[in-house]
Structure 1
Amino acid sequence: MTVSAFTFAVDDGSTNVKVSWIESTQLKTIISPNSFRKDWKSAALRRDKKVFNYTIGTTKYTYDATSDKALETTHVDYQYDDLNLLGVHHALLQTGVTPCPVRLVVTLPITEFYNAEDCQRNEANIEKKRQNLMREISLNKGDLFEVVDVVVMPESVPAVLSTLMDSNCNEFTRSLVVDCGGTTLDMGVVVGEFDDVSAVYGNKEIGVSMVTDAARKALAAADSDASYLVANELIKRRYDMDFVREVVNDESQIDVILTKIENKIQELGTSVAYEAKKFAKNPNRVYLVGGGASLIAPALKEAYATLGERVVLINDAQSALARELCMYHSDFDELEVAPESLIEVEDE
């Protein structure tokens, strides 16, 4: 029997899970932060607030945006563990789609998707990722989506598919795609309008987690222990002093904390630029995607200064990969997809 399944494209990164889907010819996207701890939460006092208590095997987990006991996801093993399964199912629930059988198009970092020695698909890792997301999981007092199929794709290069198709580049143009995520740095060189992918490279030691870890340590030193989600929000909103003061208890440490964050951002940019130049010294274009794209953009623009405006920060870079995978795997080949709707996800 063939099961009719709704398709979601899921860029299940370690820091945030990005989900795109097509509803009534409109492309929709959500960004759902990862912040889970063990054990369950008690019921919320406010009726408009939901509590998400999950069980995998015999282990209980809950979504907790602010807990300093939130479990670490900034490691490559996250791709195959309980937290990945939790992150994907929790993100699906934020879409507003009624739970139903679903087909997932998910991602793996380039270093996991390809074998280092021959650049061929690592079938063992791909199957491991598939099986992880096919596992049983339950939601207390709620229904979850039934995952009936999982397709695994590599990170980074698919994120610029439509951009390249509309770029008027020729068949000899070499475009470097740089995807800086929470845990990994993925890069690929694309020839022409996606005529070929001539080379791929990944580094699982470089990612935004370098900045996140520094922010959490600085906050802890200022009596302001925070979850990874809060630390990442501080990095994103570091120029919003009202938010900064709300997060930092010892306000005398604010300048120290912000300085440490800025120093780590510069260090991240320098590291990415060095790896990029080593991988692709003189591409014709550079495209920046991923959650850390805006942080590394100044360093990459400096590293490839002669390219000028051909060093491009993709719009909504964090969710670009999920959007492109959704359109590529869509069943609506004959329909024109309406402009995208980015749906806000509230912290419960």
Structure 2
Amino acid sequence: MSISTLKIAVDDGSTNVKVSWIADNQLKTVISPNSFRKDWKSAALLRDKKVFNYEIGTTKYTYDATSDKALETTHVDYQYGDLNLLAVHHALMQTGIEPQPVKLVVTLPITEFYNSEDCQRNEHKIEKKRNNLMRSIRLNKGELFDIVDVEVMPESLPAVMSTLMNSDCNEFTRSLVVDCGGTTLDMGIIVGEFDDVSAVYGNNEIGVSMVTDAARKALAAADSDSSYLVSNELIKRRHDLSFVKDVVNDESQIEKIINKINTKIEELGASVAYEAKKFSKNPNRVYLVGGGAALIYPAIAKAYETLGDRVVLIHDSQSALARELCMYHSDMGDAVDVAPEALVGVGDE
């Protein structure tokens, strides 16, 4: 009797890894933040607190959410190195699934997936991404998933598949998809209900890391050195004064830090809006996805003001791509029936 290998969709972004899979006809999703440093962490005092110490070749790494020595993942080279391999395996460990052989559907930014000259698949970089995730890695005192196959997909566009299929658009509707992630800005024009992809565009110098870097520098100036993970959490919870006070040691600097973050968010929104208008001046609809979607929504809504409510912030935009890839590949492969009301979230790490 043959047993089918579990297929898992992984949107392995530079800031967070989003993982979706189907169990008992339910779509489940978990978001795993990236925060790794070199060397191992000592065993936790609490018995129920698990320590994740990894080894790739002769190099030791550990997951450390708060360390100011956390390694930088906010660059495009992240897609092909140790940190990407670490992030994917660590995210798989957060699913609660028993480690086993798995097939992965992973992503690459549009600027990496397609050749800039002719918009065709960049087979070299796609294979480079596959090979990276097939490399050996070890978890100290633990068992990891066995990745037996990797399929690579382009980021952003598939994230709106279900939305477009239920949008009553016609065959001439041009939808602009804007994906603002941690490191890259990806955009594409979709015709109709995914009848055609008219054009794609990417910029690997625009992303939420612009805000994250500013937040880290502002925190350091307030005697509050932090990891990228903590800085990103501060950006999300900047209106929660209680949380802000816990993170910032020099409370006299709080107003300055928040103002700096807000200014950088406005700069990010303006940059994305400029790039979007340059790429697609008058689309019929605009859909925002990715971890930075909520941050840039006001700027994009203003840039395409005449569209009104046709500028759409996708629900749970950060994990939308992983969910859609999971449903698409399950339908194509195993014909799993996933009812909308069965879609559940496993929760954040």
Give TM-score, length-normalised by structure 1: 0.98
* Equivalent position of 1:344 in the other structure: 347
* Equivalent position of 2:286 in the other structure: 286
User: 2:25·2:336 contact (CA, 8 Å) conserved in 1?
Assistant: no
SS of match in other structure, 2:31: strand
* Equivalent position of 2:14 in the other structure: 14
* Equivalent position of 2:242 in the other structure: 242
Amino acid across the alignment from 1:88: V
User: 1:104·1:151 contact (CA, 8 Å) conserved in 2?
Assistant: yes
Q: Equivalents in 2 of 1:68, 1:145: separation in Å?
A: 29
Q: Deviations over 1:104-162 (max 9, x none)?
A: 00000000000000000000000000000000000000000000000000001000000
SS of match in other structure, 2:98: coil
* Equivalent position of 1:215 in the other structure: 215
Amino acid across the alignment from 2:110: I
* Equivalent position of 1:203 in the other structure: 203
Structure 1 unaligned spans of 5+: none
User: 1:94·1:345 contact (CA, 8 Å) conserved in 2?
Assistant: no
The 5-angstrom pairing of residues 146-295 of structure 1 reads 146-295=146-295
SS of match in other structure, 1:107: strand
* Equivalent position of 1:324 in the other structure: 324
Please say if 1:333 is aligned against 2:335.
yes
User: 2:27·2:338 contact (CA, 8 Å) conserved in 1?
Assistant: no
Structure 2 unaligned spans of 5+: none
Q: Equivalents in 2 of 1:269, 1:28: separation in Å?
A: 31
Amino acid across the alignment from 1:124: H
User: 2:25·2:342 contact (CA, 8 Å) conserved in 1?
Assistant: no
* Equivalent position of 1:143 in the other structure: 143
User: 1:25·1:332 contact (CA, 8 Å) conserved in 2?
Assistant: no
Offset, 1:345: 3.6
Q: Equivalents in 1 of 2:22, 2:304: separation in Å?
A: 36
Q: Deviations over 1:2-34 (max 9, x none)?
A: 883211100000000000000000000000000
Q: Count the aligned residue pairs.
A: 346
Amino acid across the alignment from 1:97: I
User: 2:68·2:225 contact (CA, 8 Å) conserved in 1?
Assistant: yes
Offset, 1:48: 1.3
* Equivalent position of 1:114 in the other structure: 114
**Bigger CA drift: 330-339 or 114-123?**
330-339
Offset, 1:333: 2.1
**Bigger CA drift: 327-336 or 21-30?**
327-336
SS of match in other structure, 2:189: strand
User: 1:238·1:258 contact (CA, 8 Å) conserved in 2?
Assistant: yes
Offset, 1:177: 0.1
Offset, 1:97: 0.4
Q: Equivalents in 1 of 2:37, 2:250: separation in Å?
A: 26
Offset, 1:334: 5.1
The 5-angstrom pairing of residues 53-132 of structure 1 reads 53-132=53-132
Structure 1 pair 3/39, CA: closer, same or farther in 2 (3 Å)? Answer: farther
Q: Equivalents in 1 of 2:64, 2:254: separation in Å?
A: 25
Offset, 1:222: 0.0
Q: Equivalents in 2 of 1:307, 1:25: separation in Å?
A: 37
Amino acid across the alignment from 1:341: V
Q: Deviations over 1:11-60 (max 9, x none)?
A: 00000000000000000000000000000000000011100000000000
Offset, 1:67: 0.1
Q: Deviations over 1:208-258 (max 9, x none)?
A: 000000000000000000000000000000000000000000000000000
Structure 1 pair 123/261, CA: closer, same or farther in 2 (3 Å)? Answer: same
Cα-Cα RMSD: 1.2
Structure 1 pair 7/69, CA: closer, same or farther in 2 (3 Å)? Answer: same
Offset, 1:270: 0.1
Amino acid across the alignment from 2:223: D
Q: Equivalents in 2 of 1:23, 1:212: separation in Å?
A: 35
SS of match in other structure, 2:144: coil
